[in-house]
Protein backbone atom coordinates (compact mmCIF):
# COMPACT_ATOMS: atom_id res chain seq x y z
CA UNK A 1 0.00 0.00 0.00
CA UNK A 2 1.23 3.50 -0.82
CA UNK A 3 2.33 5.65 2.05
CA UNK A 4 -0.30 8.26 1.25
CA UNK A 5 -3.03 5.63 1.37
CA UNK A 6 -1.69 4.35 4.69
CA UNK A 7 -1.66 7.83 6.10
CA UNK A 8 -5.16 8.49 4.93
CA UNK A 9 -6.41 5.30 6.59
CA UNK A 10 -4.49 6.21 9.71
CA UNK A 11 -6.05 9.66 9.72
CA UNK A 12 -9.48 8.16 9.26
CA UNK A 13 -8.88 5.80 12.14
CA UNK A 14 -7.65 8.66 14.28
CA UNK A 15 -10.67 10.71 13.38
CA UNK A 16 -12.96 7.81 14.24
CA UNK A 17 -11.23 7.20 17.52
CA UNK A 18 -11.40 10.88 18.39
CA UNK A 19 -15.01 11.05 17.39
CA UNK A 20 -15.92 7.85 19.22
CA UNK A 21 -18.96 8.57 21.37
CA UNK A 22 -17.07 8.02 24.58
CA UNK A 23 -19.06 10.58 26.45
CA UNK A 24 -22.31 9.00 25.38
CA UNK A 25 -21.04 5.62 26.48
CA UNK A 26 -19.85 7.09 29.71
CA UNK A 27 -22.93 9.02 30.55
CA UNK A 28 -25.07 5.92 30.68
CA UNK A 29 -23.08 4.66 33.66
CA UNK A 30 -25.50 6.19 35.99
CA UNK A 31 -27.80 4.97 38.62
CA UNK A 32 -29.87 8.10 38.69
CA UNK A 33 -31.76 7.16 41.81
CA UNK A 34 -28.47 6.91 43.71
CA UNK A 35 -26.72 9.79 41.96
CA UNK A 36 -23.89 7.49 40.91
CA UNK A 37 -21.84 7.78 37.77
CA UNK A 38 -18.69 5.66 37.61
CA UNK A 39 -17.52 7.35 34.43
CA UNK A 40 -17.69 10.71 36.20
CA UNK A 41 -14.14 9.90 37.27
CA UNK A 42 -12.92 10.73 33.76
CA UNK A 43 -14.32 14.24 33.69
CA UNK A 44 -13.40 15.02 37.28
CA UNK A 45 -9.96 13.45 37.48
CA UNK A 46 -8.91 12.70 33.92
CA UNK A 47 -8.90 9.47 31.97
CA UNK A 48 -6.43 6.97 33.49
CA UNK A 49 -4.28 6.46 30.42
CA UNK A 50 -3.06 6.81 27.80
CA UNK A 51 -4.72 3.53 26.92
CA UNK A 52 -7.44 2.79 24.34
CA UNK A 53 -10.86 4.20 25.13
CA UNK A 54 -12.75 2.50 22.33
CA UNK A 55 -13.20 -0.86 24.05
CA UNK A 56 -14.28 0.27 27.50
CA UNK A 57 -16.80 -2.05 29.09
CA UNK A 58 -19.50 0.01 30.67
CA UNK A 59 -21.49 -1.72 33.40
CA UNK A 60 -24.20 -0.51 35.70
CA UNK A 61 -21.85 -0.03 38.64
CA UNK A 62 -18.40 0.31 37.09
CA UNK A 63 -16.37 0.85 33.96
CA UNK A 64 -13.46 -1.38 33.06
CA UNK A 65 -10.72 -1.09 30.45
CA UNK A 66 -9.65 -4.51 29.16
CA UNK A 67 -6.03 -5.18 28.33
CA UNK A 68 -6.00 -7.69 25.48
CA UNK A 69 -2.40 -8.69 26.17
CA UNK A 70 -2.60 -9.51 29.88
CA UNK A 71 -6.26 -10.65 29.75
CA UNK A 72 -6.73 -8.53 32.83
CA UNK A 73 -8.28 -5.09 33.00
CA UNK A 74 -6.02 -2.06 33.07
CA UNK A 75 -8.39 -0.88 35.78
CA UNK A 76 -11.96 -0.82 36.94
CA UNK A 77 -13.47 2.41 38.19
CA UNK A 78 -16.46 2.79 40.48
CA UNK A 79 -18.50 5.41 42.25
CA UNK A 80 -20.15 4.39 45.50
CA UNK A 81 -22.07 5.93 48.33
CA UNK A 82 -23.73 4.70 51.49
CA UNK A 83 -26.93 3.70 49.68
CA UNK A 84 -25.17 1.75 46.95
CA UNK A 85 -23.45 -0.55 49.43
CA UNK A 86 -26.33 -0.96 51.85
CA UNK A 87 -26.90 -4.69 52.11
CA UNK A 88 -30.46 -5.57 51.22
CA UNK A 89 -32.06 -8.92 51.85
CA UNK A 90 -32.79 -9.95 48.29
CA UNK A 91 -29.57 -8.93 46.63
CA UNK A 92 -26.78 -11.39 47.20
CA UNK A 93 -23.52 -12.45 45.64
CA UNK A 94 -24.62 -16.02 46.30
CA UNK A 95 -26.92 -15.59 43.30
CA UNK A 96 -24.06 -14.41 41.07
CA UNK A 97 -21.76 -16.63 39.06
CA UNK A 98 -18.37 -16.00 37.51
CA UNK A 99 -18.82 -15.56 33.77
CA UNK A 100 -16.59 -15.18 30.75
CA UNK A 101 -17.18 -11.84 29.11
CA UNK A 102 -18.37 -12.25 25.54
CA UNK A 103 -17.97 -8.49 25.04
CA UNK A 104 -14.23 -9.18 24.92
CA UNK A 105 -13.13 -10.78 21.63
CA UNK A 106 -12.57 -14.49 22.15
CA UNK A 107 -8.83 -14.37 21.50
CA UNK A 108 -8.35 -11.81 24.23
CA UNK A 109 -10.83 -13.09 26.78
CA UNK A 110 -9.85 -14.77 30.03
CA UNK A 111 -11.66 -18.07 30.45
CA UNK A 112 -13.03 -19.97 33.39
CA UNK A 113 -10.71 -22.81 32.34
CA UNK A 114 -7.67 -20.53 32.62
CA UNK A 115 -8.34 -20.06 36.32
CA UNK A 116 -9.39 -23.63 37.02
CA UNK A 117 -6.76 -25.41 39.12
CA UNK A 118 -4.42 -22.45 38.59
CA UNK A 119 -4.13 -21.96 42.33
CA UNK A 120 -5.35 -18.36 41.98
CA UNK A 121 -8.64 -16.79 42.93
CA UNK A 122 -10.66 -14.83 40.43
CA UNK A 123 -10.07 -11.51 42.13
CA UNK A 124 -12.62 -8.74 41.59
CA UNK A 125 -11.22 -5.32 40.69
CA UNK A 126 -14.52 -3.49 41.18
CA UNK A 127 -15.58 -5.47 44.27
CA UNK A 128 -18.86 -7.36 44.47
CA UNK A 129 -19.38 -5.98 47.96
CA UNK A 130 -19.52 -2.44 46.58
CA UNK A 131 -22.64 -3.22 44.58
CA UNK A 132 -25.77 -3.91 46.56
CA UNK A 133 -28.32 -1.73 44.79
CA UNK A 134 -29.39 -4.24 42.10
CA UNK A 135 -28.79 -7.93 41.48
CA UNK A 136 -28.00 -7.30 37.80
CA UNK A 137 -25.38 -4.73 38.68
CA UNK A 138 -23.86 -7.08 41.25
CA UNK A 139 -23.89 -9.97 38.75
CA UNK A 140 -21.97 -7.82 36.28
CA UNK A 141 -19.04 -7.55 38.68
CA UNK A 142 -18.55 -11.30 38.15
CA UNK A 143 -17.49 -10.98 34.52
CA UNK A 144 -13.95 -12.29 34.18
CA UNK A 145 -13.16 -8.98 32.46
CA UNK A 146 -13.34 -7.48 35.97
CA UNK A 147 -10.99 -10.13 37.41
CA UNK A 148 -7.31 -10.72 37.86
CA UNK A 149 -5.59 -13.81 39.26
CA UNK A 150 -5.08 -13.13 42.96
CA UNK A 151 -3.49 -15.13 45.72
CA UNK A 152 -6.45 -16.41 47.74
CA UNK A 153 -5.51 -17.04 51.34
CA UNK A 154 -4.00 -14.03 53.03
CA UNK A 155 -4.72 -11.75 50.10
CA UNK A 156 -7.96 -11.87 48.10
CA UNK A 157 -9.89 -13.49 50.93
CA UNK A 158 -8.25 -11.48 53.65
CA UNK A 159 -6.03 -8.41 53.43
CA UNK A 160 -7.30 -7.32 50.02
CA UNK A 161 -10.92 -7.94 51.05
CA UNK A 162 -10.31 -5.84 54.16
CA UNK A 163 -8.81 -3.08 52.03
CA UNK A 164 -11.99 -3.17 49.95
CA UNK A 165 -13.97 -2.96 53.18
CA UNK A 166 -12.01 0.15 54.05
CA UNK A 167 -13.11 1.63 50.71
CA UNK A 168 -16.73 0.89 51.57
CA UNK A 169 -16.21 2.30 55.03
CA UNK A 170 -15.31 5.64 53.46
CA UNK A 171 -18.96 6.05 52.48
CA UNK A 172 -19.49 6.76 56.18
CA UNK A 173 -17.05 9.68 56.03
CA UNK A 174 -17.81 11.05 52.55
CA UNK A 175 -21.00 11.62 50.59
CA UNK A 176 -19.40 10.16 47.52
CA UNK A 177 -16.46 7.81 47.08
CA UNK A 178 -14.67 7.01 43.84
CA UNK A 179 -12.34 4.04 43.57
CA UNK A 180 -9.92 3.05 40.83
CA UNK A 181 -8.42 -0.44 41.06
CA UNK A 182 -6.05 -2.35 38.84
CA UNK A 183 -3.10 -4.71 38.45
CA UNK A 184 0.60 -3.91 38.27
CA UNK A 185 3.54 -5.91 36.96
CA UNK A 186 6.53 -4.55 38.84
CA UNK A 187 10.23 -5.38 38.54
CA UNK A 188 12.29 -7.14 41.19
CA UNK A 189 16.03 -7.34 41.46
CA UNK A 190 17.64 -10.53 40.20
CA UNK A 191 20.71 -12.27 41.64
CA UNK A 192 22.86 -10.46 39.10
CA UNK A 193 21.73 -7.08 40.40
CA UNK A 194 19.61 -6.27 37.35
CA UNK A 195 15.87 -5.75 37.52
CA UNK A 196 13.43 -8.11 35.83
CA UNK A 197 9.72 -8.32 35.52
CA UNK A 198 9.06 -11.90 36.48
CA UNK A 199 5.56 -13.24 36.93
CA UNK A 200 3.47 -16.29 36.23
CA UNK A 201 1.06 -16.65 33.34
CA UNK A 202 -1.85 -19.07 33.77
CA UNK A 203 -4.12 -20.93 31.37
CA UNK A 204 -3.54 -23.37 28.57
CA UNK A 205 -2.07 -21.98 26.44
CA UNK A 206 -0.70 -19.60 29.07
CA UNK A 207 -2.42 -16.27 28.52
CA UNK A 208 -3.73 -14.70 31.73
CA UNK A 209 -0.95 -12.76 33.41
CA UNK A 210 -0.61 -12.92 37.19
CA UNK A 211 -0.02 -9.41 38.50
CA UNK A 212 2.75 -8.88 41.02
CA UNK A 213 0.81 -6.06 42.69
CA UNK A 214 -2.52 -4.25 42.73
CA UNK A 215 -3.28 -0.59 43.17
CA UNK A 216 -6.28 1.08 44.65
CA UNK A 217 -6.94 4.79 44.51
CA UNK A 218 -9.66 5.98 46.85
CA UNK A 219 -11.12 9.47 46.57
CA UNK A 220 -13.52 10.86 49.14
CA UNK A 221 -15.74 13.72 48.00
CA UNK A 222 -17.87 16.02 50.11
CA UNK A 223 -20.88 17.69 48.61
CA UNK A 224 -19.24 21.11 49.21
CA UNK A 225 -16.75 20.13 46.55
CA UNK A 226 -13.78 22.53 46.73
CA UNK A 227 -11.45 19.89 48.05
CA UNK A 228 -11.27 16.15 47.85
CA UNK A 229 -9.30 13.65 49.88
CA UNK A 230 -7.45 10.88 48.12
CA UNK A 231 -4.93 8.12 48.64
CA UNK A 232 -3.17 5.58 46.46
CA UNK A 233 -2.16 2.15 47.72
CA UNK A 234 0.02 -0.49 46.05
CA UNK A 235 -0.22 -3.97 47.56
CA UNK A 236 1.77 -7.07 46.62
CA UNK A 237 -0.23 -10.05 45.31
CA UNK A 238 0.75 -12.27 48.22
CA UNK A 239 -0.13 -13.23 51.76
CA UNK A 240 -0.07 -10.08 53.89
CA UNK A 241 -0.15 -10.36 57.63
CA UNK A 242 -3.21 -8.83 59.25
CA UNK A 243 -0.96 -6.75 61.49
CA UNK A 244 0.54 -4.83 58.55
CA UNK A 245 -0.79 -1.26 58.58
CA UNK A 246 -2.61 -0.25 55.40
CA UNK A 247 -0.54 2.93 55.37
CA UNK A 248 2.55 0.79 54.68
CA UNK A 249 1.21 0.46 51.16
CA UNK A 250 0.39 4.08 50.57
CA UNK A 251 2.27 5.75 47.76
CA UNK A 252 2.11 9.09 46.00
CA UNK A 253 -0.02 9.61 42.92
CA UNK A 254 3.18 10.41 41.00
CA UNK A 255 4.74 7.12 41.99
CA UNK A 256 1.64 5.24 41.00
CA UNK A 257 1.65 7.04 37.67
CA UNK A 258 5.23 6.03 37.13
CA UNK A 259 4.63 2.39 38.15
CA UNK A 260 1.45 1.93 36.17
CA UNK A 261 2.05 4.00 33.06
CA UNK A 262 -1.32 5.56 33.79
CA UNK A 263 -1.81 9.24 34.40
CA UNK A 264 -3.79 9.47 37.61
CA UNK A 265 -5.59 12.67 38.64
CA UNK A 266 -4.16 14.73 35.80
CA UNK A 267 -7.18 16.87 35.43
CA UNK A 268 -8.59 17.53 38.81
CA UNK A 269 -11.06 20.34 38.37
CA UNK A 270 -9.43 23.73 38.64
CA UNK A 271 -9.51 25.15 42.14
CA UNK A 272 -9.93 21.73 43.75
CA UNK A 273 -7.09 20.38 45.84
CA UNK A 274 -6.49 16.75 46.63
CA UNK A 275 -5.58 16.29 50.27
CA UNK A 276 -4.07 13.17 51.73
CA UNK A 277 -7.04 11.01 52.70
CA UNK A 278 -4.96 9.36 55.41
CA UNK A 279 -4.49 12.73 57.13
CA UNK A 280 -8.27 13.08 57.34
CA UNK A 281 -9.39 9.59 58.28
CA UNK A 282 -7.63 6.64 59.76
CA UNK A 283 -6.49 4.51 56.82
CA UNK A 284 -6.69 0.95 58.06
CA UNK A 285 -7.95 -2.40 56.93
CA UNK A 286 -11.34 -3.37 58.30
CA UNK A 287 -11.32 -7.07 58.98
CA UNK A 288 -14.15 -9.53 58.78
CA UNK A 289 -14.26 -13.27 58.40
CA UNK A 290 -13.75 -14.32 54.80
CA UNK A 291 -16.68 -16.68 55.10
CA UNK A 292 -18.86 -13.60 54.70
CA UNK A 293 -17.73 -13.23 51.12
CA UNK A 294 -16.55 -16.50 49.71
CA UNK A 295 -14.50 -15.75 46.62
Min dist CB 186 to ligand NAG, Å, is 11
Min dist CB 196 to ligand NAG, Å, is 17
Is residue 169 within the footprint of ligand NAG (CB under 6 A)?
yes
Give the three-state DSSP class for 98: coil
CA–CA separation, 236 and 109 (whole Å):
24
Binding test (CB under 6 A) with ligand NAG, winner from 35, 46, 49, 203: 46
290 catalytic? Reply is no
Sign of the Cα pseudo-torsion (43, 49, 52, 56, in order): negative
Is residue 53 within the footprint of ligand NAG (CB under 6 A)?
no
**Positions 237 through 276 that interact with ligand NAG (CB under 6 A):** 251-252, 255, 267, 269
- Nearer of residues 115 and 174 to ligand NAG, judged by Cβ: 174
CA–CA separation, 40 and 63 (whole Å):
10
Query: Residues marked as binding for Mg(2+)?
Result: 156
Sign of the Cα pseudo-torsion (131, 132, 134, 135, in order): positive
Min dist CB 286 to ligand NAG, Å, is 6
Of residues 13, 75, 20, 72, the one with CA closest to residue 45: 75
Cα angle 117-119-125, degrees, rounded to a multiple of 5? 110
Stretch that binds ligand NAG, among 15-23, 168-176, 193-201, 239-247 (CB under 6 A): 168-176
Is residue 43 within the footprint of ligand NAG (CB under 6 A)?
yes
Is residue 172 within the footprint of ligand NAG (CB under 6 A)?
yes
Q: Which residue is nearest to ligand NAG (CB)?
A: 172
Q: How far is Cα of residue 177 from the mean position of the Cα atoms in its chain? A: 14
Binding residues for ligand NAG, total number by CB under 6 A: 13
Alpha helix positions (H), the chain = 3-19, 22-27, 40-45, 112-115, 135-140, 160-169, 253-260, 277-280
Provide the annotated active-site residues: 124
Q: Which residues bind ligand NAG (CB under 6 A)?
A: 43, 46-47, 168-169, 171-172, 251-252, 255, 267, 269, 286
Amino acid sequence: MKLAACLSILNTLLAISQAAPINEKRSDVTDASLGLNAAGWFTKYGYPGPIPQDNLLVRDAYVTAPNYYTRNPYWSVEHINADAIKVSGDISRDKSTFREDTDVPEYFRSKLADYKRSGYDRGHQAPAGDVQFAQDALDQTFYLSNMCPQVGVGFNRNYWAWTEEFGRNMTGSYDSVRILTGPLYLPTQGDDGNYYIDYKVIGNPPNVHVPTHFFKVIIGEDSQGDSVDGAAFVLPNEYISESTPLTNWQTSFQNLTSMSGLEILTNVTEGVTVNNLCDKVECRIITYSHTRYNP
